[in-house]
Amino acid sequence: MFRIDAAARYDCRSTQEAGLSKRDASRDGCVALGRPDTVSRRATVAAVGVAAAAALVSIAIAWKTLDFFPHVSDELAYDFQARIFASGHLALIPPEPARAFDLQQVIAKGGRWLSMYPPGWPLLLVPGVWLGVPWLVSPAILFLSVLGVFTLAREMFDNATAIAAAILFATSPFVLLNGAGRMSHLPTLCLSLWCAVFLVRGARTASGPTLVLAGALGGAAWLVRQLSATALLVPFVAWCIARLRAKRAWAGGVARLASGAAPFAVLMLGFDWIVFGDPFRTGYAVKDPTLRFNGDNGTYLPYAELLARNLPRYFADLNRRLWGFPWPDLLPLVPLLRPAVGRGKDLLLGAGALALVLVYSCYWYYDIVYSGPRLAFEAVGFLAILAARGILEAGGWLDGLAASLPRPARIGVTALLAAAAAAAPLALRLPAELRYHASCYHGHTAEALRGVDAAGVGREALVLVSGPDFAYGSFFPGNALDPTQGARVFVRDVAALRDDIVRRYSRRELWQVHVDLEPLRGPNRYADAFHVRGIVWHRVSPPR
């Protein structure tokens, strides 16, 4: 089993005798014994700056491109559940008729009205709901994620790798768009990164508090997305236990990891028990009893067939959607195929990323959301570190090849390559993605609710919404948690239920609104972006 040495201080002479590189030695302060590590301090300051810049860019995207509005049906469900938690409830009583308020990924069965998803991400959104800024939670988590990439890379390698990895991660359009949205993949990535950080530290020191914290972070990631967190972290957990076993501390280490993770497992099981009546019955099964990992609606495919179909998709899309470089995005990983000292660390990161991709390659559903294969998003942190490793290693080769060039020429070539690498994601790929996502993304747009007042709809009105099935989601957040108590009520315009709806939700005004959408060509088989041809309002009854 390979070792990850990351002691707080090295004796410079002993590290040289041990054959460690200057970069490995300087990682942990081998500048001068007893003096502060100036390089590490500067690297940390730089990483904070990169993280802050990424968060600010994502806030700008959330504002100018997404209108601070959930644009994916999953996000609407997370947002709804966060509002439920913020009100002090686990679930609500569904309104009648439930079909008039039907929303994808929201359950209205058995006297319960709530999201079908695990409670982890909605719980993290609650502070944003309380403060009236739920859109700010993802950029804040992106800030912590960049620092997580930096810290993990420095724990495992050195300052240069850490800064390069942080920059690569923060300049990915896939990352920046997820930092602007409200999908659950970013918090899972963030928690998993920091769990890996403390697993590495815990394996080195066998510190009880460190291992408990690692377990808690892993448990929190599992509470957000069970399968993603498990696939991503199992290689790190197995490696950590193996290292503790070598120190004859594995039993205590496992106990501490378990004690940190246990409260989150209890919370998940307890939540399902209370709201669904069975600790092992998830919201997915309640929403759609036909849903299986390998299919739905009674159509189930062999896992081998799914793997053969989806695995090439993941590699193809990751290869061109992580950054959008002028070369294949996974090309920087090629230098890591050469045998060298420290490859075990690269293998550990690669195992986590590959495990996630392999698991979801066996899943029946595949799509591109926020510019990349969303179910592989959590792997981007590990991939950014590996890409940084490959780029720095290739840079060392180029230094040797360019040694005969004059120094100004070497600097010019290096600057040109760096500019090309940075310009492709931020100057070319990101603007194109912003234009695409500024449309009615996944059928949802803030333009719908924004037009209510402009259309002259009164403060007390019942609004019947028609159009594509998912267009109703654009109006759903305009309802009170208890629609009967809301001044304005937005419902689906179901002809067979119209009389019942008007009777139950009688308001001063009755309106109909029709959303006309034109599908736009995109990467998915289904239409994921639309042009809003028009939103037509029609008042069908006079004020009372």
Q: Which residues contact 256 (CB under 8 A, 6 or more apart)?
A: 202, 208, 211, 212, 215
Token output for 236: 């790190």
C-alpha distances (whole Å) from 507 to each of 99, 186, 454, 488 are 20, 41, 19, 8
pLDDT at res. 28 = 41
Distance in angstroms (rounded) separating the CA atoms of residues 50 and 57: 11
For residue 4, the model assigns a pLDDT of 42
Tokens found for residue 134: 């739920």
Integer Rg of the chain from CA: 26
Average pLDDT by stretches of 10, the chain with 544 residues: 39 37 42 52 92 97 97 97 98 96 95 97 98 98 98 94 93 97 98 98 95 98 98 98 92 96 98 96 94 92 97 97 92 93 93 98 97 98 95 73 58 58 79 94 94 94 95 96 95 96 95 96 93 94 57
3-state secondary structure 174-204: HHHHHHHCCCCHHHHHHHHHHHHHHHHHHHH
d(CA 192, CA 63): 27
User: Which distant-in-sequence residues (6+ apart) come within 8 Å of 455 by Cβ?
Assistant: 511, 513, 537
Q: Would you call 407 helix, strand, or coil by DSSP?
A: helix
Residues with Cβ < 8 Å from 485, sequence gap 6 or more?
A: none
The pLDDT of residue 508 is 94
* Cα–Cα distance measured from residue 504 to residue 94, given in angstroms and rounded to the nearest whole number: 14
Full-model pTM: 0.91
Q: What is the DSSP string of 438-463?
A: TSEETT--THHHHHHHHTT--SSEEE
- Give the pLDDT of residue 6: 40
Could you give the 3-state DSSP secondary structure of residue 373?
Answer: strand
Token pair for 245: 């076993």
544 Cβ neighbours under 8 A, 6+ residues apart: 508
